[in-house]
Amino acid sequence: MSEAINTQQEASELSIAGVSWAAVLAGAAASLSITLVLISFGVGMGFAVVSPWGNSGVSATTFKIGTGLFFIVMAMLSSSIGGYLAGRLRTKWVGVHSTEVQFRDTAHGFLAWAVASVLGAMLLASPASSLIGGALGGATQAAATSAASGPMEGYVDTLLRPNDPNAQGQNASDPRPELLRLLASDFRSGNDVNPADRTYVAKVVAARTGLSQADAEKRVNDVVIQVKADLDSARKAAMQTAIWLTLSLFIGAFSATLAAMEGGGLRDGTWGRKNRATIAQTSLARN
């Protein structure tokens, strides 16, 4: 008799697909939609708390921590709702052991989170590709017209700021494009300006600004230190953002699987039943 029941259960289990892709895609779509809504809200709140005026708005450290916490909250909300829908909307499995049902529910939540994450990355990659393509096109046009512009331009302006506003450089041509290429090449290939380039830059600064050679070298050293500090700050900001994103993804995956298990249990009417039965048995044993 038991063998017949087991055979019937195995036949029922094989006749039903283990993954309800419709429920998974529905949960992923809901998760993506909520993520977009929360991102729009987060951008608005970000503009609300920052200010260009001194002693106004939140500090940079508070803003970075708040952004990271917002990433985590956003991942928890969107992934939980998406995972819950994936578990609640899936096809009911008849003749499947309760442990297997629980595993499938958690798998549905994880799949919904995975699909939403991949689609979200693809949606974000398209605007990023457009921005990169536009930047490359702008760089090509700038090179063709000999109009130098880039992140080093502000530092070169600092280097060539005249000590006397009425001082005139000895060279007729503008040395900015050359120094931009020089500094960009040095910092791209290494972490510092090599001694030969540093000496040449100091000579150009002295000729352009009217400073003495010693003062020009000091200005070059100060600007190089400033460049390193700004690059290090950008590196740390990128590192912290990557850590926050990774943490939010892990928390989102956990939230989606747990919510899917709850949604599947409510779908089958088994959520919390085991806990209530255990409590009742404990109470009877005590009495």
Per residue in 41-65, pLDDT (tens digit) is: 888 887 777 776 767 777 778 888 8
CB 26 within 8 A of CB 89: yes
Q: Are residues 116 and 169 in the same domain?
A: no
In angstroms, the Cα distances linking 147 to 51, 53, 76, 229, 264 are 32, 32, 47, 27, 62
| The predicted structure's pLDDT at residue 156 | 80
Residue 237, in any domain of the structure: no
Q: Are residues 7 and 96 in the same domain?
A: yes
Residue 28, in any domain of the structure: yes
Q: Are residues 80 and 112 in the same domain?
A: yes
Name the most confidently modeled range: 60-69, 153-162, 169-178: 60-69
| The predicted structure's pLDDT at residue 152 | 75
Q: Are residues 109 and 221 in the same domain?
A: no
Q: Are residues 281 and 140 in the same domain?
A: yes
Domain end, chosen from 230, 252, 274, is at 230
Q: Which residue has the higher pLDDT, 255 or 158?
A: 255
Q: Are residues 58 and 101 in the same domain?
A: yes
Q: Are residues 30 and 158 in the same domain?
A: no
Question: How many domains is the chain built from?
Answer: 2
Q: Are residues 163 and 280 in the same domain?
A: no
Angle at 163 between CA 161 and CA 164, to 5 degrees: 110
Residue 236, in any domain of the structure: no
In 3D space, the residue among 76, 91, 80 whose CA is nearest the CA of residue 259 turns out to be: 80
**117: containing domain:** 2-144+242-286
Q: Which residue has the higher pLDDT, 161 or 275?
A: 161
Question: DSSP secondary-structure letter at 91?
Answer: P
Q: Are residues 118 and 155 in the same domain?
A: no
Residue 70, in any domain of the structure: yes
Q: Are residues 140 and 151 in the same domain?
A: no
Q: What is the mean pLDDT of residues 196-216?
A: 86
Residue 48, in any domain of the structure: yes
Q: Which residue has the higher pLDDT, 273 or 231?
A: 231
Q: Are residues 74 and 210 in the same domain?
A: no
Q: Are residues 90 and 185 in the same domain?
A: no
Q: What is the mean pLDDT of residues 107-129?
A: 82
Burial group, residue 1, by CB count within 10 angstroms (0-12, 13-18, 19+): exposed
Residue 235, in any domain of the structure: no
Q: Is the pLDDT of residue 117 over 80?
A: yes
CB 137 within 8 A of CB 157: no
